[in-house]
């Protein structure tokens, strides 16, 4: 509302400005005899009107940017705090999250560009313009000196400094952006349903880093561009002064030209920027509306299981039908119950649907018909493991309170302590690279650290050597006896450690 009022005020003042400016050139050139007090009044009025336009434009831009950035930021937080089972009911949620992150970054980037630097630049340009109206002879010398000073400061001090700071800050921004993009792509692989814990503690902190770094970087960039724009403006004045000196006042309406340049700098560009902001807002409305639609999706609650069943059942599949094509049913009227605390191995030939079943349990795929009811929180480890772009410690602990004794225990249970010692990994530094086996050990460390109800392991030791895989699985089975564990595996030796073996065959009906 305030931005709208300011905008209307801008339009009204813009229409009134020619009235105030109409007689100033004649007054300054001596064509109209006025007292020095009247001249001072006109000049103060000129300054006041210009200040109103400049400041109102500045405030209008800040309001729009703060409002939109805040909207995107809150919506992003709301999305990231939503249950992942709901989010993965929509296939395009990673794209929507990424889009919101980019839109928020763009808003914040624009906010930094139009920070206090814009107001300072406006005041400097405006003061120069007013001096020109009063003292032409002194301005000629002043502009030359000012131009020389700005060139020297820009070339020798500010330019190298800003470039250095911008470069350092850009690397931090790139780190944060890489974290978000990598993390979004990691979500399907990690699939931790305690999304409140994961996303509020990790994504939200990183988004804050992005915004802080983006504002700093944008201020540096804005300062650099502001100096460049000021140089261009001073150069225009310099050329006009030479022209005015050569052709004399009667041939060049110098005051009118200065007025037009000032008006263009203060008003025209502001409306162009405003149009750009509106375009960004309109483009992101689609993403925000789509997110709101996703948040309205109602997930089936565990209360839908009967009272008798809910005491014992962890996973229940009723009349499940799923196919990738109309000619080949992967599952047809498939029924399955897995009980709390039960350790189950799902086996079968390649292509029979073992991994498909895991994706259906994790809401990565939608059944054509039937019901899948999950009574608890799931943690998944599979063959595709992409660490989050942060430290090894943060990757494991996520948003849980850090417990040094527990942390040491899980490193030992997952055999990751050997990897840390051998490769001299600093657990506080961001992970640059991990092999497939190291990444799987990291996933098991996270699994051991977090207290989840249901564990889905889809060929989770495929990248590990035989001895490491055997040790980790034995540790898992012995330490998580009360948890529900579903092994999807080709490893026949694993069958002796489970309570029940379920074979997936070509016909998966009941």
Instruction: Give pLDDT, residue 217.
Output: 54
Instruction: Give pLDDT, residue 500.
Output: 93
Assess whether pLDDT exceeds 90 at residue 484: yes
Assess whether pLDDT exceeds 90 at residue 346: yes
Pick 463 or 160 by higher pLDDT: 463
The gap from C-alpha 271 to its chain's centroid, in whole angstroms, comes to 27
Report the SS3 class of residue 136: helix
Q: Bridge partners of 456? A: 380, 486
Report the SS3 class of residue 379: strand
φ/ψ of 29, rounded to 5, equals -80, 0
CB-CB neighbours of 126 under 10 Å: 19
Instruction: Give pLDDT, residue 187.
Output: 44
Element (H, E) at 314: strand 313-325
* Residue range 413-470, pLDDT digits in tens: 998 988 888 877 888 887 767 888 888 898 899 889 987 889 999 888 888 888 888 9
CB-CB neighbours of 151 under 10 Å: 13
φ/ψ of 498, rounded to 5, equals -105, 165
Assess whether pLDDT exceeds 90 at residue 409: yes
Distance CA 93, CA 294 (A): 9
Distance CA 290, CA 93 (A): 9
Instruction: Give pLDDT, residue 338.
Output: 93
CB 166 within 8 A of CB 225: no
* Residue range 62-113, pLDDT digits in tens: 554 454 445 444 544 444 444 444 444 444 444 544 554 555 455 444 444 4
Assess whether pLDDT exceeds 70 at residue 479: yes
* Residue range 193-225, pLDDT digits in tens: 334 444 444 445 555 555 555 555 555 555 555
Instruction: Give pLDDT, residue 285.
Output: 57
* Ordered alpha helix ranges (H), 296-379: 307-310, 354-361
Question: Across residues 378-404, what is the average pLDDT?
Answer: 80
Domains, in order of start, for the chain: 1-296 (1.20.1560.10), 313-503 (3.40.50.300)
Instruction: Give pLDDT, residue 342.
Output: 94
Instruction: Give pLDDT, residue 330.
Output: 82
Q: Bridge partners of 430? A: 391
Assess whether pLDDT exceeds 80 at residue 30: no
| DSSP secondary structure letter of residue 291 | H
Q: How confident is the model at residue 487 (pLDDT cuts 50, 70, 90)?
A: very high
When mean pLDDT is compared over 107-111, 114-118, 175-179, 314-318, the highest value belongs to 314-318
Q: Looking at 90-99, 220-229, 344-353, 400-409, which range is the least confident one?
A: 90-99
Instruction: Give pLDDT, residue 460.
Output: 86
CB-CB neighbours of 311 under 10 Å: 11
Instruction: Give pLDDT, residue 472.
Output: 92
pTM summary value: 0.47
Region at 197 (left for phi over 0; alpha for psi -120 to 50; beta for the rest): alpha
**Mean of all residue pLDDT scores within the chain:** 63
Q: What is the largest CA-CA distance in the chain?
A: 108
Element (H, E) at 206: helix 204-247
* Residue range 351-381, pLDDT digits in tens: 788 888 988 887 778 888 888 888 887 878 8
* Residue range 122-158, pLDDT digits in tens: 455 545 544 544 444 454 445 445 544 554 554 455 4
Q: How confident is the model at residue 271 (pLDDT cuts 50, 70, 90)?
A: very low
Q: Looking at 12-21, 45-54, 413-422, 450-459, which range is the least confident one?
A: 12-21
Q: How confident is the model at residue 41 (pLDDT cuts 50, 70, 90)?
A: low
| DSSP secondary structure letter of residue 176 | H
Instruction: Give pLDDT, residue 106.
Output: 52
Instruction: Give pLDDT, residue 57.
Output: 52
Instruction: Give pLDDT, residue 267.
Output: 46
């Amino acid at each position: 509302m305030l931005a709208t009022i300011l905008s209307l005020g801008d339009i009204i003042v813009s229409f009134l400005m020619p009235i105030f400016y109409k007689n100033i050139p004649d007054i300054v050139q001596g064509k109209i005899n006025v007292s020095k007090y009247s001249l001072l009044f006109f000049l103060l009025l000129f300054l006041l009107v210009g200040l109103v336009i400049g400041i109102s434009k500045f405030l209008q831009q800040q309001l729009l940017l703060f409002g939109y950035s805040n909207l995107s930021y809150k919506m992003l937080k709301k999305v990231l705090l939503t249950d992942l089972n709901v989010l993965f009911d929509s296939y395009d949620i990673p794209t929507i999250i990424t889009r919101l992150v980019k839109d928020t970054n763009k808003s914040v980037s624009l906010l930094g560009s139009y920070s206090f630097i814009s107001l300072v630049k406006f005041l400097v340009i405006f003061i120069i313009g007013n001096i020109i109206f009063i003292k032409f002879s002194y301005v000629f010398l002043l502009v030359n000196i000012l131009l020389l000073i700005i060139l020297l400061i820009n070339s020798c001090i500010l330019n190298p400094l800003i470039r250095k700071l911008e470069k350092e800050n850009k690397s931090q921004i790139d780190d944060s952006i890489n974290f978000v993009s990598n993390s979004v792509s990691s979500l399907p692989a990690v699939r931790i349903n305690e999304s409140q814990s994961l996303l509020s503690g990790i994504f939200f902190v990183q988004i804050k880093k992005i915004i802080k770094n983006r504002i700093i970087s944008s201020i540096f960039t804005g300062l650099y561009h502001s100096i460049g724009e000021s140089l261009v403006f001073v150069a225009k004045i310099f050329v006009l002064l030479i022209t005015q000196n050569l052709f004399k006042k009667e041939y060049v309406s110098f005051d009118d030209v200065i007025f037009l340049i000032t008006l263009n700098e203060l008003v025209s560009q502001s409306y162009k920027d405003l149009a750009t902001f509106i375009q960004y807002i309109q483009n992101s409305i689609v993403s925000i509306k789509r997110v709101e639609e996703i948040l309205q999706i109602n997930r089936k609650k565990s209360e839908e299981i009967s009272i008798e069943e809910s005491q014992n059942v962890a996973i229940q599949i009723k009349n499940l039908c799923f196919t990738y094509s109309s000619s080949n049913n992967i599952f047809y009227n498939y029924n399955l119950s897995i009980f709390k605390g039960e350790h189950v191995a799902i086996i079968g030939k390649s292509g029979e649907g073992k991994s498909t079943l895991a994706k259906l349990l994790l809401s990565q795929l939608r059944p054509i018909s039937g019901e899948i009811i999950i009574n608890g929180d799931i943690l998944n480890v599979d063959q595709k493991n992409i660490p989050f772009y942060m430290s090894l410690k943060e990757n494991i602990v996520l948003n849980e309170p850090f417990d040094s004794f527990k942390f040491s225990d899980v490193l030992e249970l997952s055999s990751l302590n050997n990897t840390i010692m051998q490769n001299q990994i600093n657990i506080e530094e961001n992970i640059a690279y991990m092999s497939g086996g190291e990444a799987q050990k990291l996933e098991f460390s996270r699994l051991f650290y977090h207290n989840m109800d249901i564990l889905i392991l889809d060929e989770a030791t495929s990248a590990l050597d035989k001895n490491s895989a055997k040790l980790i699985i034995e540790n898992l089975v012995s330490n998580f006896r009360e948890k529900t564990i579903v092994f999807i595996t080709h490893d026949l030796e694993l069958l002796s450690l489970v309570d029940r073996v379920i074979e997936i065959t070509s016909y998966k009906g009941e």
